[in-house]
Amino acid sequence: MLGGCTTMQDYSTADRPETAADTAAENGPPAIPQGTGYFAQPSDLPLHAPDFSKIKDSDYAPAFEQAMKIHSAEVQAIIDNPAQPTFENTIVALEKSGRMLGRVATVFYALTGANTNDTLQAVDAEISPKLSAHSDGITLNPQLFARVKAVYDARASLGLDAEDSKLLEETYKGMVHAGAMLTPEQKAKVKEINSELSTITTEFSQKLISATKAAALVVDDKSKLAGLSDAEIAAAAKTAEERGMPGKYVIALQNTTRQPSLGALTDRAVREELFNNSWTRAEKNDENDTREAVARIVELRAQKAALFGEPDWASYVMWDRMAKNPKTALDFMEQMVPALAARQRADAAMLDKEIKASGKNFAVKPWDWEMYADKVKAKKFAFNEDEVKQYFEVHRVLEDGVFYAANKLYGLTFKKRTDLPVYNPDVSTYDVFDADGSQLGIFYFDPFQRDNKRGGAWMSNFVDQSHLFGDKPVIYNVLNIPKAPDGEPQLVSFDNVETMFHEFGHALHGFFANGKYASLSGTAVARDFVEYPSQTNEMWASYPEVLAHYAKNWKTGAPIPQALIDKIIAAKKFNQGYDFGEVVEAALLDMKWHALTPEQAAAIKAPADVDAFEDKSLKQLGLETDLVPPRYRSSYFSHIFSGPTGYSAGYYSYLWTEMLDRDSQKWFLDHGGLTRANGQHYRDTILSRGAAEDYFKMYKDFTGHEPSVEPMLEAHGLVPDKK
Ligand SMILES: [Zn+2]
């Protein structure tokens, strides 16, 4: 599943792993305050899983305040240590600081993402700028940097192993990147920018949640929903009732431009309305309009990059990426544009023909695309999504599909638990056991769409793996699968099935983490690497042996017919002008926003300027964006505008990692597919390594060669112009 997911590794120093007050110097240690309340100590549940039965909404704000004070005192103790700076007393001590802050932040951000409410939103708005200032206070502390630099400068003589060296390098370069080498005036300016960015990106997210909710399609006449299934209409009626509009029908928006119902609604005017609701959701010149926030975020980022001597924000943020600079990323994407644009035009012509053949007289528009593409697809592959869904019941997909593949490849086994407290009754939990029967971790699964959950799908940790602390991973997957009415089977589309495998791919990366330091372990890897293992795990969703095991009719238990499997696989290559095109467009749009100089960015202020820049950038690409709009428009591109950095100048990562993924799929298939030996090799070379090594080296250890773009282009039916 392209572009549907993020991992949450964005709290940098704030959720650095941390530990008890054991960092004070021998003589006259500064007093480290003791925390109180739930978050003061690790949870006493298995593997320190959060105890939601004990956590109250009112706990967070005071816990954040205390935890920041404790963290600051721990850092001060490192600075005040009279001993010469060493790797242990400075770098490892830093890694150990801020434990309580890590505990409160991981739980808090899990909930603001998946199960938020007005109280949590208010705490978020209040605490975000404070956290940002706290983090800056540490990374920009000159005395602390002097100690870190002393250790870094002596690194050649310290006899550190590879993992220690990497921690030292990341700590040092992270501080330089945050501004440790800047003048006091420049530092003050960076702090100011960070604080405003934190506030304004939080504002962007909150406006977007409200805007998305408010822009839902509301109809009062059931006949306008013609084309939807009875179950979908019942769900729309239920949503309307929940929102205080009994008797009406509400179709909530998903976070992408494209809305699933566009493929089914037969009334063209209703389709156009739904599309426009989606496209203009945050551009209504009301209090939820996000465009001025977008303009300001972009300007602040460009200004910050300039303080570091970088021409633009993209150049500034890509320092630790596998691709390393914007030019590599842009070249990589732009080589696909001519073939992709040709493909979009050819697909549109095919759909125009289909529209004409059905007796209609209009040219295809974005709100028609899905419907007519589905018709052509149904003719070519003779199945519809509803037929397919009958074979995908969500818990069977999880237990007999996702878990089964993990068992065959890695020997993992899973046992459902019902005793762990959860934050919502729809969340389920599992113990995860390694091949030797020892416990590897705990897994939380939160599948269904809710109004208080942000869009998309993601994975993160409640507890990070770390040998330093003896911690095993506690991991959650969150998805946005529309929930069936009570009593109906919970059937999911094949797209959602792939998303489940995808998110579990991240979970495997977390479960197999085997590092000393949490800050380098599991999914704490570069932005353009983190989506690679998750995308690779998607391959098992349609792998025949796995499919045969989980894809069974929910009513009869009959296995999915082989002919249907063949069609699903063939159909995956269909509609790439749209499916692949919308992602490439979003990735290029992201890069264009973040390649602006401060002067260029300053000229974009009013909502209309944002639209004009977006329009110009999209037109420049040469792709057919009037027919195939980008997967996210600027005003609701939360991947890149939520959080001070978010996925900014990073959305290309989905494509970059797909290159790694397609090439790796080829490796698995060339070596016998779903075997324990293949799984073990992948675990040893990629999944267990975290960020403790160079990414190109890991990749070569796995496949034996440099990443090759050919398998990806082939998979999309694209052939590069040259070579
Ligand atoms: Zn992902």
The pLDDT tens digits of the residues spanning 288-299 come to 999 999 999 999
Q: What is the mean pLDDT of residues 28-39?
A: 82
Res 24: pLDDT: 37
How many angstroms does the Cα of residue 636 sit away from the middle of ligand 1?
A: 19
Return the structure tokens found at 451: 């109004």
How many angstroms does the Cα of residue 535 sit away from the middle of ligand 1?
A: 7
How many angstroms does the Cα of residue 457 sit away from the middle of ligand 1?
A: 8
Q: What is the mean pLDDT of residues 41-65?
A: 97
How many angstroms does the Cα of residue 594 sit away from the middle of ligand 1?
A: 22
Inform me whether the pLDDT recorded for 374 exceeds 70. yes
Q: What is the mean pLDDT of residues 552-575?
A: 86
Which alpha helices (DSSP H) does 493-597 contain, by range?
494-511, 527-538, 544-550, 562-571, 576-593
Inform me whether the pLDDT recorded for 66 exceeds 80. yes
Inform me whether the pLDDT recorded for 233 exceeds 80. yes
CB of 480 within 8 A of CB of 456? Answer: yes
Q: What is the mean pLDDT of residues 622-637?
A: 95
**Which residues lie below 8 Å from residue 505, measured CB to CB, with a gap of 6+?**
533, 534, 535, 536, 537, 538
In terms of DSSP bridges, do strands 249-251 and 5-7 run parallel, antiparallel, or are they unpaired?
A: unpaired
Inform me whether the pLDDT recorded for 561 exceeds 90. no
Inform me whether the pLDDT recorded for 715 exceeds 70. yes
- β-partners of residue 77 are none
Res 327: pLDDT: 86
Long-range contacts of 680-684 (CB under 8 A, 24+ apart): 680/410, 682/409, 682/536, 683/410, 683/512
Give the helix/strand (H/E) hosting 318: none
d(CA 504, CA 520): 20
How many angstroms does the Cα of residue 434 sit away from the middle of ligand 1?
A: 23
Q: Which residue has the higher pLDDT, 52 or 644?
A: 52
With 0-12 / 13-18 / 19 or more C-beta atoms within 10 angstroms meaning exposed / middle / buried, residue 352 is middle
Inform me whether the pLDDT recorded for 16 exceeds 50. no
pLDDT band at 414 (very low <50, low <70, confident <90, very high): very high
Q: Which is the catalytic residue, given 18, 503, 531, 538?
A: 503
**Which residues lie below 8 Å from residue 171, measured CB to CB, with a gap of 6+?**
91, 94, 148, 152
How many angstroms does the Cα of residue 534 sit away from the middle of ligand 1?
A: 6
CB of 78 within 8 A of CB of 106? Answer: no
With 0-12 / 13-18 / 19 or more C-beta atoms within 10 angstroms meaning exposed / middle / buried, residue 672 is exposed
Q: Which residue has the higher pLDDT, 496 or 12?
A: 496
- β-partners of residue 251 are 217
Return the structure tokens found at 310: 């970088």
Question: Any idea which of 62-76, 442-456, 463-477, 697-711 has the lowest mean pLDDT?
Answer: 697-711
Share of the chain above pLDDT 90, in %: 79
pLDDT band at 17 (very low <50, low <70, confident <90, very high): very low
Burial 318-351 (b: 16+ CB within 10 A, else e): beebbbeebebbbebbebbbebbbebbeebbeeb
pLDDT digits (tens, 9 = 90+) for 100-146: 999 999 999 999 999 999 999 999 999 999 998 999 899 889 999 99
Give the helix/strand (H/E) hosting 319: none
CB of 255 within 8 A of CB of 455? Answer: yes
Res 19: pLDDT: 33
Mean pLDDT of the chain: 91
Q: Give Dmax over CA atoms of the chain in angstroms.
A: 88
Q: Which range scores top for mean pLDDT: 274-283, 338-347, 382-391, 613-622? A: 274-283
> Does the annotation count 693 as an active-site position?
no
Q: DSSP string covering 404-468, please? A: HHHHHHH--EEEEES-S--SSTT-EEEEEE-TTS-EEEEEEEEEE--TTS-SSEEEEEEE--BTT
How many angstroms does the Cα of residue 550 sit away from the middle of ligand 1?
A: 22
Res 534: pLDDT: 96
Inform me whether the pLDDT recorded for 3 exceeds 70. no
